[in-house]
Amino acid sequence: MGRQSYCFEDRGGREVILRPEMTPSLARMVAAQGELQLPVRWFSMPLCYRYERPQRGRVREFLQFNLDILGSENLAAELEVILVLQGIMDSFKAPSSIYRIGWSSRRFMSDALSRCGVSNELAGEVFSAIDKRDKMSTDKWADFLLGACGGDSSVTSQVISLVSVESLADPWLVDLMTGSTAFQEVVEFNKLLQEVGIPSAVFSPGVVRGLDYYTGIVFELMDTGGENKRSLCGGGRYDNLVGLFGNKRISGVGFGLGVLTLTLFLETYGLIPDRVKEASTADVYIAVATPEAIAAACLLTALVRSNGFRVMMDVSGKKLGKQFNEASRYRIPFVVTVGSEEINSGNYKMKNLVDGSIFTGSQEEIVGRLK
């Protein structure tokens, strides 16, 4: 956590940091609880902050949907959070062809790199180099990797073979990972994914994720088109995070989904739902015909609201036509007019702005009609 955190000194001279993501805060909360019924399932939509130069898909203050399961070491927990992620994409009707959930395992990659001949001292460098693979040409990256591997060309070619693997049944990989429990776990998880049927999930040894608290399965959701280069979502298993803030050792798995990156993705593919684009701000507009009717209009507004409807009342004092215009602009489907006629007779007129029809009745009948 370095120069991209938004930190400053508060008035008491303390160094403080605006949270750059939610997971450590969640781990702190869980560590602080005396007794918990495990596993814990938790979601949140926090504002987070990063001190970076803004650009497409990246701003200094952003919303992130977070979902975590703590207290289960079963692969079902990984499967469950990915299933929810898939469900979110399905709810936006995003076809699995336009995005990809690339996944791998930290434990597996550490073991595999070691078996490729990468020393523990160089493992961090090599991880970092793998993360940069998509940012340069194949040849250039090979040179870069050679540097990270300490100039050892045979180790480098082994690592290139590793990240090029496309199938867990690859004979070279199976031979390399003989007897590895981390590999067994990856194979098992792949089997689960196939049995459940998550077509967008693809085993990708190149996915390592930058966050260093991840220990097991890691995954990220990317746009497969070229438009959005930032990952929409990243997640994985973290075994030691809760333990940092207390003496309980609780393993967790979860993900963070960027609302801004998701929105850009949905816009790119025209998937913003109509109910969002055409959302109305209220169910009913209360038009006020004369200044003498203001109090009665307020009472009617309160009545309709107490029945569970969203109400916008005129506060402009403009002519009725202008008030109807405002209701129309806000896509509010019904307008009830309050004036001396209505107050005297007890009969109110409610116009349906969608079809133009007018319903006349008492206040109670108006409310009943809305239901």
Partner RNA sequence: GUGGGUGUAGUUCAGUUGGUAGAGCCCCUGAUUGUGGUUCAGGUGGUCGCCGGUUCAAGCCCGGUCACCCACCCCA
**Interface positions with RNA (CB under 7 A):** 1-2, 4-5, 20-21, 50, 52-59, 128, 131-132, 135, 209-214, 229-230, 234, 289-290, 318-322, 324-325, 328-329, 335, 337, 339-342, 349, 351-354, 356, 358
* Cα-Cα end-to-end distance for the chain: 53
Angle between helices 106-115 and 120-131 in degrees, nearest 10: 120
Nearest to 245 by CA among 23, 2, 12: 23
Q: Give me the least distance between CB of 178 and RNA, in Å please.
A: 31
Which one, 135 or 191, has the nearer CB to RNA?
Answer: 135
What is residue 298's three-state secondary structure? helix
Tokens linked to 99: 């995005």
Q: Give me the least distance between CB of 34 and RNA, in Å please.
A: 28
Bridge-partner residues for 198, per DSSP? none
Which one, 37 or 138, has the nearer CB to RNA?
Answer: 138
Q: Are 325 and 336 in contact (CB under 8 A)?
A: no
Which one, 42 or 51, has the nearer CB to RNA?
Answer: 51
Which one, 107 or 209, has the nearer CB to RNA?
Answer: 209
Q: Give me the least distance between CB of 352 and RNA, in Å please.
A: 7
Q: Give me the least distance between CB of 71 and RNA, in Å please.
A: 21
Round to whole Å and give the CA distance between 350 and 357.
Answer: 8
Q: Give me the least distance between CB of 319 and RNA, in Å please.
A: 4
Q: Give me the least distance between CB of 346 and RNA, in Å please.
A: 12
Which one, 135 or 310, has the nearer CB to RNA?
Answer: 135
Region for 310 from its dihedrals, namely left if φ exceeds 0, alpha if ψ lies in -120 to 50, beta otherwise: beta
| Pairing of the two strands 252-258 and 61-70 | antiparallel
Nearest to 116 by CA among 37, 35, 175, 31: 175
Q: Give me the least distance between CB of 43 and RNA, in Å please.
A: 20
Which one, 119 or 290, has the nearer CB to RNA?
Answer: 290
Q: Which residues contact 250 (CB under 8 A, 6 or more apart)?
A: 30, 31, 38, 70, 71, 242, 243
Which one, 177 or 221, has the nearer CB to RNA?
Answer: 221
